[in-house]
Structure 1
Amino acid sequence: MRILAIDYGSKKCGIAATDPLQLIAQGLETVPTHRLFDWLETYLQAEEVSDLVIGESLQLDGTDNPIQAEILGFERKFRKRYPNIQLHRQDEFHTSRRARESMLAMGLKKKDRRDKQRVDRIAAALILQDFMETRG
């Protein structure tokens, strides 16, 4: 079974998944937030998923970001639709910055590093990788 991760945003969400053995995290897609459940429905029909990790978005002082209310609403709907998939939160502090740094290290051109969808996918993969490292 795979683990999915979402870098949740008010306009779009980066999505990452593990391989079936849960060894490698890989960015999959960036999906408009209003289409996220449609995307999940299609994906979950094709793949077995045991867990979903959602980035925990906090301010520097540890208080919730305004997006937290949207994330909580998403989680409620997700739990109702998919009660057999475990939900987890993972700190997403600096994942977008780390994504840009990794793109620079990969030698991507400036234009490619500015591609927000690519940044979102890589950020989701980093959230997933962090989750995998902290749980086991």
Structure 2
Amino acid sequence: MRILALDYGQKRTGIAVTDELQIIASGLTTIASETAIDFLRDYFAKEKVAKVLIGEPRQMDNTPSESTAVIEVFVSKFKETFPDMPVVRVDERFTSKLAFKAMLDSGLKKKQRQDKGLIDEISATIMLQDYLTRKMF
């Protein structure tokens, strides 16, 4: 069974997924946030998913960020739509900065680095890989 990670935002949601053995995290896609529930309904019908990680945005002082309210509405709708799917909230601080650094380090051209959807997908992948690493140790 796979683990799915969502970097949910007001406009876009980056999605990452593990392999079936839950060892490697890979970027899956970026979608328009308003289509997230429908996308997940289709995905869950095709793939076995053990749990879903949803990023929890925090300020440096650990207080909720300005986007927390939007994400909380989504989390409520997710739990209502998929009541049997376990949800794990994970700290997503620094994932966008790490994603941008990963894009720089991999040699992506400036135009590619401006693709906010790609940043969201890489952020979800970083969140998921961090979760997998912590789970192992």
* TM-score category of the 2 structures, normalised to the smaller one: over 0.9
Query: After the TM superposition, which segments of 4 or more aligned residues of structure 1 sit over 4 Å from their partners?
Result: none
Identity of aligned residues (%): 44
CA deviations 1:64-94 (Å, max 9, x no partner) are: 1122122222112211222222100111111
Q: In the comparison of the two structures, how many residue pairs are matched?
A: 136
Number of the residue aligned with 1:30:
30
Cα shift at 1:95:
0.6
Taking structure 2 as the reference length, what is the TM-score of the superposition?
Answer: 0.94
Give yes or no for contact 1:90–1:130 (8 Å, CA) kept in 2.
no
Letter in 2 for 1:94: F
Number of the residue aligned with 2:74:
74
Number of the residue aligned with 2:84:
84
Structure-2 separation of matches of 1:117 and 1:73: 21
Unaligned runs of 5+ residues in structure 1 are none
CA deviations 1:2-37 (Å, max 9, x no partner) are: 100011101111010001111110111111111111
Is residue 104 of structure 2 the alignment partner of residue 104 of structure 1? yes
Secondary structure at the counterpart of residue 10 of structure 1:
coil
Unaligned runs of 5+ residues in structure 2 are none
Taking structure 1 as the reference length, what is the TM-score of the superposition?
Answer: 0.95
Letter in 2 for 1:107: G
RMSD, aligned α-carbons? 1.0
